[in-house]
Amino acid sequence: MNGHRESEEPLLRTVEKEPRTFTWNQMHRMAGRMARALQRLGARPGDRITVQVEKSPETLALYLACLRGGFVFQPLNPAYTTAELEHFITDAEPAVVICDPDRKADLEPLAARIGARLSTLRGDWKGSFFMLQMVQPETFETVARGPDDPAAILYTSGTTGRPKGAVLTHGNLLSNARDLVFVWGFTTDDVLIHALPVHHAHGLFVACNVTMLAGASMIWLQKFDTDAVVKAMPEASVLMGVPTFYARLLEHRGLKRAAAGMRLFISGSAPLSPALHTRFRERTGHAILERYGLTETGMNASNPLDGERRPGSVGPALPSTEIRITDRDGGAVLPTGETGMIEVRGPNVFSGYWRREK
């Protein structure tokens, strides 16, 4: 999966500050230059690339560069402190660390300790990595990778101890994106309002991978802003968000008119209350589509595109995914209506935790 469609049509456009538009071919060429830049920094296929930068079109290009170069993308929350980063970086042992120029002095000693090269990137055409990629040839032959080869490592929240790196393969990402394109009816005509962060699965793998696999396009917002999202709706068809997005949108006077031409509102990453689901439908005429997933599996279930979207429900399993509910103690499969442990099987399930046997 390398996210390319041969086209001079827009893939992504920003609408804040200085608006920028990137066509599919422009993004592909930038990803090629970045893949070459990573090679210049010493990265080889299979090496981890740790990335802690603010959201920008260049961040997406860097993700695509890792997919094309056979590197393993490790995104980290830009809000993490240097102390918090120590575990993630020493555990992953990346070949290259890319951070915001303002974090360089803090992270240089840590990168040096593990023998990683450090470079900087920011979305305003600044940073040593940005300058390095600018002087690279645009042509790059994508490194062949199989479905079982790692594509990314995302660290879990650590509710059962220190955060663990979930290793997601190319096959995991591709199979899940294919399912979601199908069940959500994505086409080349769709325009997604992208207002999510890109350091976790929702904003990166669900939003970006689905859009790119469908050959659709994105209106790219630096962060969620109610006015900006409502303003973008007349030119868009889909919004992916978290429940708080929808709660805040309900406070906007222009929501009903702006949402009239939208095709789909999707919610995830946290439970959507039935009350919020009902209020949004009554206000806009749109029933929010809720889905369910995990960092380790991608998406597992979704309410239907056509048919009833039940408030408080995440819908049936995706086409390539099997789900069952089992007893917490004995492991016996439970009948419908019972509460127990969720077990998932399918090509979307991760290969394991980084450097953990279990």
pLDDT digits (tens, 9 = 90+) for 303-321: 999 999 999 999 999 999 9
Domain count, the chain: 2
Type of residue found at 278? T
The token duo for 42 is 């010493």
Sign of the CA dihedral with 68 first, then 72, 78, and 82 last: negative
What residues are paired with 60 via a beta bridge?
Answer: none
* Average pLDDT over every residue of 92-100: 98
Q: Are residues 128 and 195 in the same domain?
A: no
Predicted pLDDT at 7: 86
What b/e string do you get for 173-183 counting C-beta neighbours within 10 Å, with b at 16 or more?
bbbbbbbbbeb
Domain termination residue (choose one: 101, 127, 145): 145
CATH code for the domain of 259: 3.40.50.12780
Domain that holds residue 276: 174-348
Q: Are residues 337 and 203 in the same domain?
A: yes
Q: Are residues 339 and 206 in the same domain?
A: yes
CATH code for the domain of 30: 3.40.50.980
Share of the chain above pLDDT 70, in %: 97
Predicted pLDDT at 46: 98
Element (H, E) at 226: helix 226-232
Residue 8 pLDDT greater than 80, yes or no:
yes
- Distant-in-sequence, close-in-space partners of 73: CB < 8 Å, separation ≥ 6: 49, 51, 62, 63, 66, 67, 151, 152, 153
Rg (the chain; Cα; Å): 20
Q: How high does pLDDT run on average in the chain?
A: 95
Q: Are residues 187 and 315 in the same domain?
A: yes
User: Cα 276 vs. chain centroid, distance in angstroms?
Assistant: 25
Residue 5 pLDDT greater than 80, yes or no:
no
Q: Are residues 220 and 297 in the same domain?
A: yes
Residue 241 pLDDT greater than 90, yes or no:
yes
Predicted pLDDT at 356: 84
Residue 4 pLDDT greater than 70, yes or no:
no
Q: Are residues 135 and 274 in the same domain?
A: no
Length of the chain measured in residues: 358
Q: Are residues 332 and 255 in the same domain?
A: yes
* Average pLDDT over every residue of 100-126: 94
Residue 81 pLDDT greater than 80, yes or no:
yes
pLDDT digits (tens, 9 = 90+) for 281-303: 999 999 999 999 999 999 999 99
Residue 304 half-sphere exposure toward CB, CA atoms < 13 A = 6
Residue 217 within a domain: yes
Q: Are residues 67 and 128 in the same domain?
A: yes
Residue 159 pLDDT greater than 70, yes or no:
no
Contact predicate 91/72, CB 8 Å:
no
Torsion of CA 218, 224, 229, 231, to 10 degrees: -110
Predicted pLDDT at 45: 98
124 — pLDDT class (breaks 50, 70, 90): confident
Q: Are residues 135 and 254 in the same domain?
A: no
Q: Are residues 208 and 325 in the same domain?
A: yes
